[in-house]
Amino acid sequence: MNRGASGYYQALVEGVEPGGRYLYQLDGAALRPDPASRFQPEGVHGPSQIVCADFSWDDTSWFGLPLNRYVFYELHVGTYSREGNFDAIVPRLAELKSLGVTAIELMPVAQFSGNRNWGYDGVFPFAVQNSYGGPAALKALVRACHQQGIAVVLDVVYNHLGPEGNYLGEFGPYFTDRYRTPWGMALNFDGPDSDEVRRFFVENALYWVTDFHIDALRLDAIHAIVDHSAQPFLQELTAAVHQRAAELNRHICVIAESDLNDVRVIQPCHSGGYGFDAQWNDNFHHALHTLLTGEREGYYQDFGQLRHLAKAYAEGFVYSGEHSSFRRRRHGSSSRTIPAERFVVCAQNHDQIGNRMLGDRLSTLICFEALKLAAGVVVLSPYLPLLFMGEEYGESAPFLYFTSHSDAALAEAVRRGRREEFSGFAWQGEVPDPQDEVTFLRSKINYELKDTAGHRTLLDFYRELIRLRGTNPALAYLSKEDTDVIALENKKTLFVRRRCGECEVFVAFSFADSVIAVDAPVPPGRWQRLLDSSDEQWKGDGSLLALKLSSEGEVGLQLNRKSVVIYEKSLEQPI
């Protein structure tokens, strides 16, 4: 091969056809797959395969989804179905659409070692996992989604590469020892020769949105991307994707996972921000989770008061410079002026479930009424809601941590690491073995559950919430300025009022353990009950008293334990 500019080597090989396989040999060393491989039919150690870029797309009338229309459904391809591949997702799209989901978010699909992995151990960023069906099957899935009007979000990992089959460093200065990540060597985004390292990942982002018609990227753990340059990689990346979106005339969003609570992430580039369209807001999750479960371990120690959830609802970040006990320092900056649509919120996601020793979902931790309450808190927020596969019908299978490394020493290290991580939880039993196939199989969702009694009710409840969110102007309009939040700490009740022009909605969330009476902070008026999670329709304890005018001119309410009630102001007949 001939050395070209910027350290790339090239050769023109005649007569190569799609399906042809190849390896590189570096200066007489071992044969290696292509670091920019498009397909690894035999896994991370095998040859790369030439892939035909042609595909019969039929989504020319699909322009992507505006940010504020996203209702995410996060799924892990391997455990979403018995087959564990892209094809098996397609038959379920109609049901997801009927649920109101507007986007599926795929956990990472870059080629990883073995057949079982969350995806964060990917080592070929451009190759679609062979056991999921490879690149053609992913394209077919995207096409099917767009046919249904469903967007596709892809989780991409630009902070490290996985531990097995990671040959990238042999090809160039992709890694640096100046920084560290919790998961492996840090990528070289600001050191010597980093321009082309950045380009590798920028091109990766453009590859997905261009060649695969992906609608949004979710960047994993950007806080582990260390970069002190004056023009940060992340800025370069969001700008490149947004430019490509303009060229393609499609909505394309870039979403960050970040634990920095730093508004810079979601501020526009011209204000010195990184220019992400949105970011996951873990604070919202933690505030909700602690209220629902009473848990206070680890990072949950910073949460647990109703005011935390109230602040998450009103502002976004709960920690905006306050002292965090868990971090033992002040944390975060204020997101008060950040638009609501820049936050993705959830009651559960792969991390919050899977990073528990036993991978327990909320459905196994809290009661049915509380599950509906959680659904209400997420879906009725002014933020972008995200459900984790199976959450909508109260799936009970755990989502455990699983791997299938072929390197025995690595497998053992992962096993040991997991055991050490949960050494304080021995009373809960044994740490499931990540390498054991059973751990993977146990994590598969039981999709047929959704058709059984209680599960079906929860599913219908989610559907109704999402329908209301999409059709009621006051709920559809994502504006913090038009959202008022009042927390009654001693009543364990959160009131939220949301407005859009003349339309107004008033929601009461009760986290109390029994029926409570409260004065609602709304003016008397003709309020119409839109939804009550206690209603018998939702297999609840039964709806309580309707609104009444109290002696002080306030609106009195009785709220069931763990309930959510939505009222809409009637425009026709004020009293």
Helix (H) / strand (E) element for 207: namely helix 194-211
Cβ proximity to its own copies: between 226 and 530 the closer is 226
- 273: contact with its own copies by CB under 8 A: yes
- 297: contact with its own copies by CB under 8 A: no
Cβ proximity to its own copies: between 69 and 327 the closer is 327
Q: Where are the alpha helices (DSSP H) in 193-301?
A: 194-211, 233-248, 282-293
Dist. CA 435–CA 132, nearest whole Å: 18
Label residue 551 exposed, middle or buried (CB < 10 Å: 0-12, 13-18, 19+): exposed
Cβ proximity to its own copies: between 190 and 369 the closer is 190
**CB-based contact 33:27 (threshold 8 Å):** no
- 262: contact with its own copies by CB under 8 A: yes
Cβ proximity to its own copies: between 262 and 392 the closer is 262
Q: Strand pairing of 329-331 and 322-324?
A: antiparallel
Cβ proximity to its own copies: between 320 and 533 the closer is 320
Cβ proximity to its own copies: between 190 and 391 the closer is 190
- 323: contact with its own copies by CB under 8 A: yes
- 192: contact with its own copies by CB under 8 A: yes
- 176: contact with its own copies by CB under 8 A: no
Which span (34-42, 98-106, 265-273, 287-295) binds its own copies, by CB under 8 A?
Answer: 265-273
Q: What is the largest CA-CA distance in the chain?
A: 89
- 199: contact with its own copies by CB under 8 A: no
Residue 152: what are its φ and ψ, rounded to 5°? -125, 125
- 3: contact with its own copies by CB under 8 A: no
**Residue located via tokens 């679609």:** 128
Cβ proximity to its own copies: between 230 and 575 the closer is 230
Interactions with its own copies, residue window 241-260 (CB under 8 A): 260
Among 21, 92, 244, 264, binds its own copies (CB under 8 A): 264
Label residue 95 exposed, middle or buried (CB < 10 Å: 0-12, 13-18, 19+): middle
Structure tokens at 366: 């809290």
**CB-based contact 279:257 (threshold 8 Å):** yes
Would you give the end-to-end CA distance of the chain in angstroms?
Answer: 83
Q: What minimum distance in Å lies between the beta carbon of 332 and its own copies? A: 5
- 327: contact with its own copies by CB under 8 A: yes
Among 164, 215, 220, 227, the active-site one is 220
Among 79, 111, 176, 194, binds its own copies (CB under 8 A): 194
Q: What minimum distance in Å lies between the beta carbon of 184 and its own copies? A: 16
Structure tokens at 249: 């005339």
Among 45, 146, 311, 331, binds its own copies (CB under 8 A): 331
Interactions with its own copies, residue window 378-417 (CB under 8 A): none
Dist. CA 488–CA 325, nearest whole Å: 24
Q: CB under 8 Å to 423, separation ≥6 — which residues? A: none
322 is catalytic: no
Question: Which residue type, as a one-letter code, is found at position 527?
Answer: W
Which span (133-141, 193-201, 490-498, 552-560) binds its own copies, by CB under 8 A?
Answer: 193-201
Q: What minimum distance in Å lies between the beta carbon of 118 and its own copies? A: 25
Helix (H) / strand (E) element for 144: namely helix 134-148
- 271: contact with its own copies by CB under 8 A: yes
Dist. CA 210–CA 86, nearest whole Å: 19
Count of other CB atoms within 10 angstroms of residue 72: 25
- 83: contact with its own copies by CB under 8 A: no
Among 74, 257, 395, 504, the active-site one is 257
Interactions with its own copies, residue window 211-230 (CB under 8 A): 223, 226, 228-230
Distances (CA, A) of 565 to 197, 317, 434, 539: 52, 25, 41, 14
Q: What minimum distance in Å lies between the beta carbon of 382 and its own copies? A: 22
- 336: contact with its own copies by CB under 8 A: no
- 92: contact with its own copies by CB under 8 A: no
3-state secondary structure of 103: strand
502 is catalytic: no
Please name which of 223, 218, 266, 278 lies closest in space to residue 73, comparing C-alpha atoms: 218
Residues annotated as catalytic (active site), given as ranges: 220, 257
Interface positions with its own copies (CB under 8 A): 178-180, 190-195, 223, 226, 228-231, 260-264, 267, 271-273, 321, 323, 327-333
